[in-house]
Structure 1
């Protein structure tokens, strides 16, 4: 039952947030998106290593 409640809350949040984002006037240029994208994989690697260390030492 808890899973259904969680799914309902997530779906409701998406139904609320997506129209707000679409109406927003803020746009990201392709240059800015490229700057952000180059940081994603290194940060994910650091996160995975940190989680592994946390799992091993706790």
Structure 2
């Protein structure tokens, strides 16, 4: 039952947030997007390593 509630909340948030984002005037240039994309994979790897260490430490 909790999974269904969680899915309902997530889909409800999508139905609200996506139209708001589409109407916003915020646009990101290709250069800015490339700068952000350069940092995403290293940050994901760092987060995964930290999670692995935390899992090992817990037992």
Q: What's the TM-score bracket when you normalise by the shorter of the two chains?
A: over 0.9
| TM-align CA RMSD | 0.6
Counterpart secondary structure, 1:17: helix
| Runs of 4 or more consecutive aligned structure 1 residues displaced over 2 Å after TM superposition | none
Q: Tell me the alpha carbon deviations over residues 1-56 of structure 1, each in whole angstroms, 9 at most, x when there is no partner.
A: 11111111100000000000000000000000000000011111101110010001
TM-score (norm 2): 0.94
User: Partners of 1:23 and 1:40 in 2: how far apart?
Assistant: 26
Unpaired segments ≥5 residues, structure 2? none
